[in-house]
Amino acid sequence: MKRLFLIGTLLAVGSLSLAAMQQPPAAGGPKTIDIVKLKDNFYVLTSSTPGNQATFSGGNVAVFITDGGVTLVDDKLAGWGQAVLDKVKSVTSKPITRIINTHTHGDHTGNNNFFGASVEIVAQENTKANMMKMDAFKGDNAKFLPAKTYTDKTTIGSGKDRIDLYYFGAGHTNGDTFVVFPALRILHTGDMFAWKDGPLCDRNNGGSCVAFPQTLSKVIAAVKDVDTVIPGHSPMQTPKDLQEFQRFVADLSKHAQDSMKAGKSVDDAVASFSVAKYPGYKNERVKGSIQAVYDELKK
Q: Minimum distance between the CB of residue 171 and Zn ion, rounded to whole angstroms? A: 10
What's 246-294 look like in SS3? Answer: HHHHHHHHHHHHHHHHCCCCHHHHHHCCCCCCCCCCCCCCHHHHHHHHH
Q: Minimum distance between the CB of residue 108 and Zn ion, rounded to whole angstroms? A: 6
Comparing C-alpha atoms, which of 258, 284, 290, 296 is closest to residue 17? 284
Residue (76 or 105) nearer to Zn ion, CB: 105
Residue (123 or 184) nearer to Zn ion, CB: 123
The residue type found at 27 is A
- Check if the beta carbon of residue 98 is closer than 8 Å to that of residue 119: yes
Comparing C-alpha atoms, which of 192, 109, 173 is closest to residue 145? 109
**Looking only at Cα atoms, what is the longest distance across the chain?**
60
Residue (18 or 91) nearer to Zn ion, CB: 18
The kind and range of the H/E element at 113 are helix 112-115
The kind and range of the H/E element at 149 are strand 148-150
Residues binding Zn ion: number (CB under 5 A): 2
The residue type found at 212 is F
Q: Within 5-64, which residues bind Zn ion (CB under 5 A)?
A: none
- Check if the beta carbon of residue 203 is closer than 8 Å to that of residue 292: yes
Residue (192 or 275) nearer to Zn ion, CB: 192
Q: Minimum distance between the CB of residue 6 and Zn ion, rounded to whole angstroms? A: 29
Q: Interacting stretch for Zn ion, rule CB under 5 A, among 8-16, 71-79, 162-170, 188-196?
A: 188-196
Q: Minimum distance between the CB of residue 103 and Zn ion, rounded to whole angstroms? A: 6
Instruction: Find the residue with minimal CB distance to Zn ion.
Output: 105
Q: Minimum distance between the CB of residue 84 and Zn ion, rounded to whole angstroms? A: 17
Residue (191 or 296) nearer to Zn ion, CB: 191
Pairing relationship of beta strands 228-231 and 177-181 according to DSSP bridges: unpaired
Residue (184 or 201) nearer to Zn ion, CB: 201
Binds Zn ion by CB under 5 A, chosen from 76, 98, 105, 264 = 105
Q: Minimum distance between the CB of residue 15 and Zn ion, rounded to whole angstroms? A: 15
Q: Minimum distance between the CB of residue 53 and Zn ion, rounded to whole angstroms? A: 16
Binds Zn ion by CB under 5 A, chosen from 75, 176, 191, 284 = 191
Residue (72 or 269) nearer to Zn ion, CB: 72
233 touches Zn ion (CB under 5 A): no
98 to each of 1, 31, 101, 117, 123, how far by Cα in Å? Answer: 52, 23, 10, 10, 11
Q: Which residues bind Zn ion (CB under 5 A)?
A: 105, 191
